[in-house]
Amino acid sequence: VASAEDVVVTAGAQQALDLVARVLVAPGDVVAVEDPGYAAVHRLLETHRARVRGVPVDDEGLVADALPDRARLVYLTPSHQFPTGVTMSMARRSAVLRWAGEHDAVVVEDDYDSEYRFADQPLEPLQSLDRDGRVVYVGTFSKSLLPALRAGFVVPPRSLTAALREAKRVTTWEGDLTTQGALASFLAEGHHAAHVRRATKVYRVRRDRVLAGLVGLDDVLRVVPSVAGLHVCARFRDESVDDRAVVARAAARGVFVEGLSTHRREQPVRPGLAIGYGGIDADAVPDAMLRLAAAVRP
């Protein structure tokens, strides 16, 4: 829910989070994040000397009951949790908003990759469920176009817009207006929407082939249901598996995947693999999945 005046253009999601932290986070403040979660943002919050606390994530997304009472802000990826791929349930969305109201806290919703959807309608973003002006919505063109553009945006509650604009001005003025101008034309002329439609078809084929490869591994790996984004995640049924060892064996076979345990902070994490298909040709996926299978069952 936004009009043009509500949108602050940033150099990607990362700068959006930096501006939010400049405006809202003081040294020593407790900030809650998903665990496992997106380390680039956790590290950014640490440079603002926040005390970053990991909150567990289950099949419904962040466990809202485990949010620390003293947190000033919670950073979330509800549409496609990074890295597990879980979509946050409606019950959890409501619980997070309730928690924020009760604790006078801010919710930062990072919607980094939901342009690519492969099934049904998305659940409502927290930002449009929010009646209380607590949600800061962050978007980026890093996944829908390319990360080197460094183009993203933030839609804050009205009470924060002026402070975020000022924080941006004192750090990078308006940013790269040449790129932003080109991107604005690209959007206005409908090319971005057309690109996302075309690319969704390409990614769908890759994704289906990854999922087909995982069918043969069903006794070992359980696919985490997800309908968006550029990676799928699967968890080991046997929780004693060392996913880092599997990742290393896959790499030795020329297949690069990520272990869920590398994205954890302090919470125990069920081992699993995040399998990205953003940068591989569909024709190469079946062979890569066979090699991954050999790494999973050495």
116 binds ligand PLP (CB under 6 A): no
Residues binding ligand PLP: what is the number (CB under 6 A)?
12
In angstroms, what is the minimal distance from the CB of 142 to ligand PLP?
Answer: 3
Torsion, Cα of 274, 37, 131, 10 (10° steps)? -90
Figure out which of the listed residues 82, 99, 137, 203 binds ligand PLP, where binding follows CB under 6 A. 82
Side chain identity, residue 117: R
In angstroms, what is the minimal distance from the CB of 175 to ligand PLP?
Answer: 13
Residue 142 or 250 having the CB closest to ligand PLP: 142
In angstroms, what is the minimal distance from the CB of 77 to ligand PLP?
Answer: 5
Element (H, E) at 226: none
The residue number with the shortest CB distance to ligand PLP is: 12
Residue 152 or 217 having the CB closest to ligand PLP: 152
ω before 83 within 30° of 0 (cis)?
Answer: yes
Query: Would you call 118 exposed, middle or buried from its count of C-beta atoms within 10 A (0-12, 13-18, 19+)?
Result: middle
Nearest to 113 by CA among 13, 257, 34: 13
H helices of the chain, in order, are: 12-24, 39-47, 90-103, 126-129, 158-172, 177-188, 191-215, 243-252, 285-296
Stretch that binds ligand PLP, among 126-134, 140-148, 168-176, 199-207 (CB under 6 A): 140-148
152 binds ligand PLP (CB under 6 A): yes
Residue 13 or 292 having the CB closest to ligand PLP: 13
Neighbours of 83 (CB within 10 A): 27
Residue 127 or 140 having the CB closest to ligand PLP: 140
**Inter-residue contact 1 to 125 (CB < 8 Å):** no
147 binds ligand PLP (CB under 6 A): yes
Residue 84 or 142 having the CB closest to ligand PLP: 142
Nearest to 103 by CA among 76, 132, 129: 132
Binding to ligand PLP (CB under 6 A) within 38-67 occurs at 38
Neighbours of 130 (CB within 10 A): 22
Stretch that binds ligand PLP, among 12-20, 53-61, 181-189, 277-285 (CB under 6 A): 12-20
For residue 238 the two structure tokens come to: 């046997």
Figure out which of the listed residues 114, 140, 144, 226 binds ligand PLP, where binding follows CB under 6 A. 140
Residue 168 or 296 having the CB closest to ligand PLP: 168
In angstroms, what is the minimal distance from the CB of 97 to ligand PLP?
Answer: 20
77 binds ligand PLP (CB under 6 A): yes
142 binds ligand PLP (CB under 6 A): yes
Residue 11 or 295 having the CB closest to ligand PLP: 11
| Alpha-carbon span 165 to 45, nearest angstrom | 19
DSSP secondary structure of 97-156: HHHHHHHT-EEEEE--STTSB-SSPPPPPHHHH-SSS-EEEEEESTTTT-GGG--EEEE-
110 binds ligand PLP (CB under 6 A): yes
